[in-house]
Amino acid sequence: MGICGTAMGNAALLARAAGHEVLGADTGVYPPMSTVLAEAGITLHEGYDPERLAKLAPDLVVIGNAMSRGNPEVEWLLDTRALPFTSLPALLHDTVLKTRKSIVVCGTHGKTTTTSLTAFLLRENGRDPGFLIGGVPLDPPVGNHLGAAADPFVIEGDEYDSAFFDKRSKFIHYAPHVAVLNNLEFDHADIFRDLADVQRTFSHLTRIVPRNGWIVMNGDDENLRALGPLSWTRVVRVGTGEGNDVRIVDFTETPAGVSFRLLWSGAEWGCVTWAMPGIYNARNAAMAATAAALAVHGEKWSRDLPVPAGTGSGDPVSMLRLDLAPLARFRGVKRRQEVLVSTPALTVIEDFGHHPTALAETLKSFRNRFPGAVITAVFEPRSNTARTNTLQAGFMTALALADEVYLGAVNRADKLKAGERFDTEAVIVHLQSKGVQGATAPTNAELLDKLTAVSLPVKAGGRPRLVIFFSNGSFDGIIAKYAAAAKRGG
């Protein structure tokens, strides 16, 4: 149920690859996922019909996270108890993860990119990992793969709840052998009360990592350090600070790209030169490489890591045998800093950012990547947290890093009380007081008109302009429309 969602569709494809007969239902069965599913031999049904479900009588019903009470099939299942049902995370555990060495990638930011990087590095180093990615990666070229049973399975570990009947975080089901903790901040205000509540669910995750497993932790993140020493398993800390086991050093970013070096316990691991922007992506790469190395080679090491550098056969780098050179070819994930238009005068980028920290890190990176350019940030308050005023102060600080800001209409604003919703007008007033030009509009279509009037057609002889769209949804189609207009010359 809800099969056309990215995670649900990829999980359905995994189940099909594992030999199960799979059927799916959704409202408005839509491409591209519907096309991929049909090509894999999965029958799709439009809408939800209890009579049809009863007639089909599947062995198991997988209820997607988007389903809730009131759905006719949900109500029939609860009324009759005629068919067994489960959540997507529980299905993944029972059919794939319980027999695999799983790498579970978690964190407020960077999960999709880090999951893609981990799978990509394993494949480039001669392994056949399974993986399930919650987006549309360019590398690896697909979002799901069953892989070889003897190789790790890499999965994006979301802290959001599992289903309407199971309010545990999804990642609790994923049986991590290697748990990757990228970062931890308050988000998902519709699920968690506060930061301590988010830390609680991450703490629960760490407690199911076995003693022969690993936690790969962002050692620069204070909210993760607050989880404690985690003495029941092995912990490898990654970051820029001197107290980390794996360190990112000599980070530089220019219009030509990014370069940095990785050290493990002070020993040289490798130098990376690639196109991915920002220190945040360098950290994603370091976390992914560390997790992949531990999953494949970790048992050959002493339990008392880190091993001091320069000790011959005990030198950790000599035991890694994980080549970092393929990172130079990594192309990223669609909608994660994806370049839609690139000319000397105008660059248009789409990004999935919907948290203040993510917006701030991206804008800081682009100051280095596009020196001298006018940076125009276009933000849609769309996620369940971003459309409220919970993180509004953080968004004000982040958006002030741009030269111009255009704020879209608050998604489903009518579902929020006036005192609870993101106040676009107040944010624009604040930004203007900081010297940042800003505008908003009652609809996203009107916002597009305002943006186009100012930035298109590109005027000859002016400063180059970077327009970056931030949204975790469709932005009512204005991103594609603006990019198309830019390619036509306005």
Query: From residue 186, how far is each of 137, 195, 212, 391, 411 by CA, in Å?
Result: 26, 5, 30, 9, 20
Among the candidates 86, 115, 139, a domain finishes at: 86
The answer as to whether 163 is a domain residue is yes
DSSP reduced 3-state for 253: strand
The CATH number of the domain where 316 resides is what? 3.40.1190.10
pLDDT of residue 7: 86
Among the candidates 329, 357, 391, a domain finishes at: 329
Of 357, 372, 443, 441, nearest to 403 (Cα)?
A: 372
The CATH number of the domain where 413 resides is what? 3.90.190.20
pLDDT tens digit sequence for 417-469: 999 999 999 999 999 999 999 999 999 999 999 999 999 988 877 899 999 99
Domains contained in the chain, number: 3
CB 25 within 8 A of CB 47: yes
Interval 181-207 mean pLDDT: 93
Tell whether 67 and 172 lie within a shared domain: no
Tell whether 199 and 153 lie within a shared domain: yes
Tell whether 314 and 245 lie within a shared domain: yes
With cut-offs at 50, 70 and 90, classify the pLDDT of residue 108: very high
The answer as to whether 220 is a domain residue is yes
With cut-offs at 50, 70 and 90, classify the pLDDT of residue 307: very low
The answer as to whether 1 is a domain residue is no
Tell whether 418 and 315 lie within a shared domain: no
Residue 303 in this model has a pLDDT that exceeds 50: no
Q: How far apart are CA 287 and CA 218, in angstroms?
A: 8
pLDDT of residue 309: 41
pTM of the entire structure? 0.89
The answer as to whether 91 is a domain residue is no
Q: How far apart are CA 453 and CA 472, in angstroms?
A: 25
Q: Radius of gyration (Cα) for the chain, nearest Å?
A: 23
Spell out the long-range contacts of 42-46 with Cβ–Cβ below 8 A and sequence spacing 24 or more. Answer: 42/3, 42/12, 42/13, 42/16, 44/3, 44/4
Of 265, 257, 253, 311, nearest to 290 (Cα)?
A: 265
Tell whether 185 and 317 lie within a shared domain: yes
Q: How far apart are CA 178 and CA 291, in angstroms?
A: 7
Among the candidates 59, 86, 113, a domain finishes at: 86
Range of the domain at 321: 96-329
Interval 248-275 mean pLDDT: 95
Tell whether 320 and 353 lie within a shared domain: no
pLDDT of residue 134: 83
CB 245 within 8 A of CB 237: yes
Tokens of residue 461, six digits: 């002889």
CB 177 within 8 A of CB 209: yes
The CATH number of the domain where 58 resides is what? 3.40.50.720
DSSP reduced 3-state for 350: strand
What's the half-sphere exposure (Cβ side, CA atoms, 13 Å) at 332? 17
Tell whether 15 and 58 lie within a shared domain: yes
Interval 476-480 mean pLDDT: 95
CA 211 from centre of chain: 27
